[in-house]
């Protein structure tokens, strides 16, 4: 659907070269790709190149049908002299040669679906930031594109307004649009994207499936970036260091309801037990008392895993997955939460509280479980 080959676009800003260099990737139909990266890493330039708004220094972008890609930027770009309805219908009338009546009826349907009907006669300055961005998104949808290119469209909004825009993008994703989304909303990217592209100083540093990107991040710089933006996300909490790590797991086992299950996808064998130290015994006895099961899929079982499975197969269900399966490594799902764990010198837990993400991870876990033996 989209194929970018060695695209390069450089310009000077703040006395240094900015832009992107030799970026190549492809996006298939229906795929949702989130672009992450620090400020100035070239995310917006990349999207502007895909949208055809920049003349490339080098490389090429091919899109199945150039007219099928609509771009929405972080700036509020509603035309201020036109009402919401006129903003939505101008391009379909002029470009798609639709009649005014049919374009207006379609626009009204969209406005109604996304709770903006009462604003059809309003002008841009009469709307809130969130409403403006939602209208800008719907305006992009009105020309019936196959691809939506969204450039940090929530960056100027407060959390409440951001939610309304992200909900709209989720709804459009369900409608089957192919999307390339620049965002720094981690939980949003985790719940929506199929793939993550990470840019570092204008270069493509990683292009990975979303599960692998967040859970099996080997690049320390990217990992620290992810932790940084996670701190700004309301639904994400980070627990760092041995004490917090142990306290987190003990609290978790205390607050989980009896007879619940913790789903674990991991590759690390016995790595979990070590940082738990002396608290492991306390954790284990509580878990048995509350009858909380572990359902775990890994490449290899550690010695402790094997022993536990022998002693209590009901509470310790382990399966081994084939090495051929790309492993998202080390995430746990329980209720509406997903945690990923990093076992370094300072063990770290990233906890995401989001039902959509938990559901998505659980579905992925089930696939792994069913393919494992």
Task: Provide the binding-site residues for other proteins, judged by CB under 8 A.
Answer: 51-53, 67, 69-71, 73, 75, 77, 79-81, 90-91, 94-96, 123-125, 136, 139-140, 143, 149
Q: What's the closest the beta carbon of residue 45 comes to other proteins, in angstroms?
A: 14
Three-state SS at 280: helix
Contacts of 318 (CB under 8 A, 6+ apart): 294, 296, 297, 298, 301, 305, 306, 309
**Measured from the CB of residue 272, what is the shortest distance to other proteins in angstroms?**
48
Minimum CB distance to other proteins smaller for 96 or for 260: 96
Rounded distance between C-alpha atoms, residue 37 and residue 198, angstroms: 5
Write down the least CB distance from residue 277 to other proteins, Å.
56
- Whichever of 53 and 171 has its CB closer to other proteins, that residue is 53
Measured from the CB atom, the residue of 125 and 255 that comes closer to other proteins is: 125
Of residues 28 and 95, the one with the C-beta less far from other proteins: 95
Tell me the closest approach of the beta carbon of residue 276 to other proteins, in angstroms.
53
* Cross-strand pairs, 34: 181, 196
Give 122 or 261: the residue with its C-beta nearer to other proteins. Answer: 122
Q: How far is the CB of 122 from other proteins (least distance, A)?
A: 11
Q: Residue 27 is inside which H or E element, if any?
A: strand 16-27
Which ranges constitute the DSSP H helices of 118-218?
A: 129-142, 159-174, 186-192, 210-215
Cβ at position 68, least distance to other proteins in Å: 10
Task: Collect all residues with Cβ–Cβ distance below 8 Å to 256 and sequence separation of at least 6.
Answer: 262, 290, 292, 334, 335
Which residue from 207, 137, 139, 120 is spatially nearest to 173, judged by alpha carbons?
137
**Which residue's CB is nearer to other proteins, number 80 or number 241?**
80
Beta bridge pairs of residue 25: 4
């Amino acid at each position: 659907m989209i194929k970018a080959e060695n695209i390069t676009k450089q310009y000077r800003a703040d006395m240094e070269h900015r832009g992107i260099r030799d970026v190549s990737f492809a996006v298939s139909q229906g795929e949702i790709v989130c672009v992450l990266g620090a400020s100035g890493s070239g995310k917006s330039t990349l999207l502007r190149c895909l949208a055809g708004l920049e003349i490339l220094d080098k490389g090429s972008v091919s899109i199945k049908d150039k007219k099928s890609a609509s771009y929405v930027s972080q700036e509020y770009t509603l035309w201020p002299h036109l009402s919401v309805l006129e903003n939505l219908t101008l391009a379909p009338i002029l470009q798609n040669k639709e009649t005014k009546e049919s374009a207006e009826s379609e626009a009204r349907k969209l406005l109604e679906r996304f709770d903006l009907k009462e604003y059809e006669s309003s002008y841009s300055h009469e709307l809130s930031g969130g409403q403006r961005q939602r209208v800008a998104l719907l305006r992009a949808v009105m020309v019936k594109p196959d691809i939506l290119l969204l450039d940090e469209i929530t960056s100027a909004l407060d959390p409440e307004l951001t939610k309304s825009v992200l909900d709209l993008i989720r709804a459009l994703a369900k409608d089957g649009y192919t999307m390339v989304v620049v965002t720094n909303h981690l939980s949003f990217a985790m719940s929506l994207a199929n793939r993550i592209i990470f840019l570092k100083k204008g270069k493509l540093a990683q292009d990975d499936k979303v599960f692998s990107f967040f859970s099996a991040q080997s690049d320390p710089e990217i990992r620290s970036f992810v932790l940084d933006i996670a701190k700004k996300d309301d639904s994400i909490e980070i627990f760092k260091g041995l004490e917090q790590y142990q306290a987190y797991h003990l609290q978790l086992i205390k607050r989980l309801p009896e007879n619940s299950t913790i789903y674990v996808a991991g590759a690390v064998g016995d790595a979990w037990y070590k940082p738990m130290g002396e608290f492991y015994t306390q954790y284990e006895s509580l878990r048995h008392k509350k009858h909380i099961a572990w359902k775990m899929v890994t490449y290899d079982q550690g010695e402790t895993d094997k022993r536990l499975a022998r002693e209590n197969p009901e509470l310790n269900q382990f399966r081994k997955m084939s090495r051929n399966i790309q492993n998202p490594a080390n995430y746990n799902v329980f209720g509406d939460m997903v945690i990923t764990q990093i076992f370094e010198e300072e063990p770290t837990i990233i906890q995401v509280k989001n039902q959509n993400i938990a559901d998505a991870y659980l579905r992925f876990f089930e696939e792994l479980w069913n393919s494992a033996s």
